[in-house]
A = this chain, B = another copy of it.
Amino acid sequence: MKYDTITPINLEGESSVKTYKVAIMGATGAVGQQMKVQLEKRNFPAGEILFLASSRSAGQEIEFKGKTYIVQEAVPESFEGVDIALFSAGGSISEKFAPEAVKRGAVVIDNTSAFRMDPEVPLVVPEVNKKDMRLHNGIISNPNCSTIQMVCALQPLKEQFGLSKVVVSTYQAVSGAGIGAINELKDQAADFDNAKQADASVLPVKSADKHYPIAFNAIPQIDVFADNGYTLEEMKMINETKKIMHDDKLSVAATCVRLPVVTGHSESVYVELEGAPSVEEVKQAIAEAAGVELMDDPSQQLYPMPLMAEGLDEVFVGRIRQDPDNPQGFHLWVVSDNLVKGAALNSVQIAESLIEEKIV
């Protein structure tokens, strides 16, 4: 189904409609820029807007709906009068400033991992668990990019057939690691003959001891390692999926891999359902799901690919097929733009849902 869970609110000709003071914290980053784009594109009722960043980025100019704004250095007082604050400036910035924004009456929609697993903080993908927003104490977390697109595809299967197990392997784009990672891929890709000796200083993790070339390679490490041998990215997929879907018994097994793709995460998702529907029934469930688009016709070589998903809103699902060895087992290939639905769009949708549900 085309992306339409939360119809963008259209203010034209509705002069009496309430507007909101919105702040974007981390306005100059890859996700912050995309947040601005989504607010404009969806005509969000932002009566006032504030672009905030660290002192390093303060002073930059940002165009929004034909007007030029100057990026301000964030201080606690910046959030006075703000109704909705979209945060995407790193976990430590969220830890420092989100409570300050909440203290001043804002609802914070936080795109970092800082509060995601806090039992007091709702972790929301509107298509899946919009109702959880009602329990917020000022902060609502936006899940990790790789989790968001997966749960959009899993939710209709859970609702219609029951879901017992998920085994996911990801194919993740470098833009999730920021603009520095994109530039590094670009430089490395231009020197095909020296791929093994390419300079690398960003991936897999900027602060890590070792860096590896990403061009013509696949790196099975995203984020740092936990003590159990999993990366934090893998643990996010496991824990966030259970929290969002309200199912601690759901078995989630995840391997996360970084690829030489600029933008657009792909996921090979194997599910075990409680029922044993036909492939057609599974395709139908996906086709009807909010925010998800079925793209699946092998006879036409039609399936989603990251290069084609860039800049689009939907979660695309294809390659749906039944396990010949297990009638309850199905494969899905799930692709979405990690900066759009995986980050900025989901945050703006949470903001729209807050208005729709009269929470702000």
Which residues from B are CB-within-8-Å of A252? 325
Which residues from B are CB-within-8-Å of A225? 298-299, 301
Q: A250-264: which residues lie under 8 A (CB-CB) from chain B?
A: 251-253, 255, 257, 259-262
Which residues from B are CB-within-8-Å of A270? 167, 253, 255, 270
A78 beta carbon closer than 8 Å to chain B? no
A179 beta carbon closer than 8 Å to chain B? no
- Let me know if A228 and B321 touch, CB within 8 A: yes
- Let me know if B169 and A268 touch, CB within 8 A: yes
A331 beta carbon closer than 8 Å to chain B? yes
Q: What's the Cα separation between A105 and B86 when bound, in Å?
A: 75
- Let me know if A216 and B261 touch, CB within 8 A: yes
Which candidate, A55-63, A142-150, A204-212, is the interface stretch facing chain B?
A204-212
A356 beta carbon closer than 8 Å to chain B? no
Please give the number of chain A residues whose Cβ is less than 8 angstroms from any Cβ of chain B in the complex: 64
- Let me know if A217 and B169 touch, CB within 8 A: no
Which residues from B are CB-within-8-Å of A276? none
Q: What's the Cα separation between A257 and B333 when bound, in Å?
A: 10
Indicate which residue in B217, B306, B324 contacts A218 across the interface (CB closer than 8 Å).
B306
- Let me know if B253 and A217 touch, CB within 8 A: no
Which candidate, A39-47, A64-72, A189-197, is the interface stretch facing chain B?
A189-197
Q: A118-173: which residues lie under 8 A (CB-CB) from chain B?
A: 167, 169, 171
- Let me know if B323 and A251 touch, CB within 8 A: yes
A229 beta carbon closer than 8 Å to chain B? yes
Indicate which residue in B208, B216, B253, B333 contacts A260 across the interface (CB closer than 8 Å).
B216
Which residues from B are CB-within-8-Å of A307? 195-196, 212-213, 216-217
Indicate which residue in B196, B218, B251, B259 contacts A325 across the interface (CB closer than 8 Å).
B251
Measured between C-beta atoms, what is the minimum distance from A166 to chain B in Å? Answer: 10
Complex copy number for this chain: 2
Q: What's the Cα separation between A220 and B302 when bound, in Å?
A: 10
Kindly supply a per-residue 1/0 record for chain A positions 216-259, scoring 1 wherever the CB is within 8 Å of any chain B CB and 0 otherwise: 11111100010011100000001000000000000111010101
Q: What's the Cα separation between A266 and B255 when bound, in Å?
A: 12
Indicate which residue in B210, B217, B306 contacts A306 across the interface (CB closer than 8 Å).
B217
Closest to A303 in B: B220
Q: What's the Cα separation between A268 and B215 when bound, in Å?
A: 19
A186 beta carbon closer than 8 Å to chain B? yes
- Let me know if A308 and B196 touch, CB within 8 A: yes
Which residues from B are CB-within-8-Å of A301? 204, 208-210, 221, 225
User: Which 5 A-B residue pairs are closest in the complex by CB-CB distance?
Assistant: A169-B268, A169-B169, A229-B321, A225-B298, A217-B307
A interface residues, Cβ below 8 angstroms from B: 167, 169, 171, 185-186, 189-190, 192, 195-196, 204, 208-210, 212-213, 215-221, 225, 228-230, 238, 251-253, 255, 257, 259-262, 266, 268, 270, 279, 298-301, 303-308, 310, 318-326, 329, 331, 333
